[in-house]
Structure 1
Amino acid sequence: MSDLSSESDRSISGPDASDGPVRDRSARDRTGYAAFFAELSARARPRDLVALCAPPVALVAVFALPEATRRSLAFAYLEPTVLSAFAAHYVHLGTDHLLGNLVGYGLLAGVGYALAVLGGRRRLFFTALVTYLLAFPFALSALNLAVPRNAIGFGFSGINMALAGLLPILWYCYARQWFAPAASIRALPAVFFALVGWIALLALPVSTEGIGIAGLAIGVAGALLAVLYVASSEVRFPPAIRTHATAVASRPGYGELLVVGAVVAVGYPVVGFPADPAGGGSVVNLYVHLLGFCLGFIGPFALLAGGAFDE
């Protein structure tokens, strides 16, 4: 989400038995990348793809409204309304802003969906996605009021960051299924702490100034928390992880998807938390981005750890 200052300063489905491995004869007879894409296409569903396309269609439809209408739907921090609290997250005032969020959504949702269907977490993915689309706009707007200012907020990036928070969970579930089935789900908070530390380094670049030192301190703290969490919780890592990794790496497509998921999970915060958030009369709302990322991870992880998505 971006803020625009009025003073021009830049201040689903149900339980799914088909989430299990697809082992039809045609998939077994294929080799190499053909087998990977055959399994991915066998698990993908037309209704899933329709659901994934709904948010971009909505964003483009809202952008087609007159600019005056779009501005009236933006979230004014000094005059908030229930309608604008929701609608503002689907409003864009510039083409570049819209295209950036469309590309971000396509990358996060596309990679996340592939990891989810091949990792047996389709229901988790769509439950989270629907929650992000319908409930998160209200939550993020309400929490945004904690930082009062004479400005308006708009844009889909807060929801994109929630998808970025979900991605490490989907990546880990996929890695467990294909690389190390005995790995403990309790290791996920360590991944979260490490990513939050990485975000701090991005948002608060290292320097000798006070804010730079704070960014370095938070980044180091995130890494230490990750290490301490793993050590204190006695998270089990399977002794045969190298064997599993070698087996999966020998199957073209599966290892590549794991690498792509890791690159997107680590790389997308670079986009969401630029070192210089100001530009063009608006400012990237790093506060909402951080909220979206954290809430996007914490909710699904709590449900997953509680067994809500066990088949």
Structure 2
Amino acid sequence: MTAPATDERDRTGDAKRRADRDFRRELLASARAIDVFALLAVPGALIAVFALPEATRRSLVFAYTDPTLRSAFTAHYVHLSADHLLGNLAGYGLLAGVGYALAALSGRRRLFFTAFATYLGAFPLALSALNLAVPRNAIGFGFSGVNMALAGLLPILWYCYARERFFPAASVAALPAVFFGLVGWIALLALPVSTEGIGLGGLAIGVASGLLAVLYAASSEVRFPPPVREHVRTVASRPGHGDLLAVAAVVAVGYPVVGFPSDPSGGGSVVNLYVHLLGFCLGFIGPFALLAGGAFDG
């Protein structure tokens, strides 16, 4: 005797709904009130700074021709227009929210908040100082450099979550290959691509980064399991957890589209692609080095 197909679909749907509820309960149980407070403190600070008079905000931006230690830090928390602020708040909410969920459910809260505190406290000064390597008569401001550091952290948290929940044999040695691949993707997004002139730059960097990713994976003896369909089914069979893994992957690959527009000028300002790239690279390299060195083990 066989059950009707509709009964089978109903049972499958009920199982997925139960799995979703279990996932939400686990996520809520993993979150801590102090963590949520720390995450919400950032948009609170950005909004508070935006509420200051415009003249005060302009005094806090980083002038490349007249840099000060104070403005090197404060500029990253200053926005001169509501659109700029809202864009960075949305980016922060997406990156910090997804990143925290991955960290909480993989037992990597310490990794997340060590990086988080470093990005907020040290990165503004570092990014401003490195900005002086490109002399120009301009001002810099906005939270996007810190957001890009969070984007650099996301692949690491994705790996930690995937290893904890799905693939315990996954090796940290694969992460640099992912990094090179993302840098190549960023080059294709940010630089014009053509077969002549400057357009060769984006194409060349993209191809070179892709080759570096492949060569690194080969030299580090990273092995990609052949039964891809089985792993896809494994992820898909766990609603909630699998959804988070997929969403985080989409954000990791998709956010550079926002951070590295092909036309960085518009609205009377220019997107600082240089500081975005610095934020992304430094945001990845530091946590990866600590993770690979075992700083967060135990």
Verify same fold: TM over 0.5.
yes
Structure 2 Cα separation of the partners of residues 41 and 242 of structure 1: 31
Structure 1 Cα separation of the partners of residues 235 and 269 of structure 2: 46
1:238 shift after superposition: 5.6
TM-score normalised according to structure 1 size: 0.88
For 1:265, the equivalent position in structure 2 comes to: 252
- Tell me which amino acid in the other structure corresponds to 1:74: V
Structure 2 Cα separation of the partners of residues 176 and 300 of structure 1: 17
For 1:137, the equivalent position in structure 2 comes to: 124
1:236 shift after superposition: 3.9
> Does residue 72 of the first structure (1) align with residue 77 of the second (2)?
no
> Does residue 180 of the first structure (1) align with residue 167 of the second (2)?
yes
Answer 1 or 2: higher relative contact order, Cα 8 Å, separation at least 6: 1
SS of structure 1 residue aligned to 2:130 = helix
Give matches, 1:1-311, under 5 Å.
31-237=18-224, 245-311=232-298
Structure 1 Cα separation of the partners of residues 158 and 224 of structure 2: 16
- Tell me which amino acid in the other structure corresponds to 1:99: L
Unmatched tracts of structure 2, length 5 or more: 1-16
SS of structure 2 residue aligned to 1:181 = coil
Structure 2 Cα separation of the partners of residues 169 and 292 of structure 1: 15
SS of structure 2 residue aligned to 1:234 = coil
Unmatched tracts of structure 1, length 5 or more: 1-29
CA offsets per residue over residues 17-67 of structure 1, 9 Å max, x none? xxxxxxxxxxxxx93200111111110111110000011000000000000
Structure 2 Cα separation of the partners of residues 210 and 94 of structure 1: 35
Bigger Rg, which one = 2
- Tell me which amino acid in the other structure corresponds to 2:96: A
1:251 shift after superposition: 1.7
Structure 2 Cα separation of the partners of residues 240 and 279 of structure 1: 46
1:91 shift after superposition: 0.3
Q: Assess if the C-alpha contact under 8 Å between 1:76 and 1:153 holds in 2.
A: yes
Q: Assess if the C-alpha contact under 8 Å between 1:183 and 1:236 holds in 2.
A: no
1:118 shift after superposition: 1.0
TM-score normalised according to structure 2 size: 0.92
Any runs of at least 4 consecutive aligned residues in structure 1 with deviations exceeding 3 A, and if so which? 236-248
1:183 shift after superposition: 1.0
Structure 2 Cα separation of the partners of residues 60 and 242 of structure 1: 46
Q: CA RMSD in A?
A: 1.4
Structure 2 Cα separation of the partners of residues 308 and 241 of structure 1: 31
- Tell me which amino acid in the other structure corresponds to 1:61: A
Structure 1 Cα separation of the partners of residues 230 and 105 of structure 2: 20
For 2:8, the equivalent position in structure 1 comes to: none
Query: Would you say how many aligned residue pairs link Structure 1 and Structure 2?
Result: 282
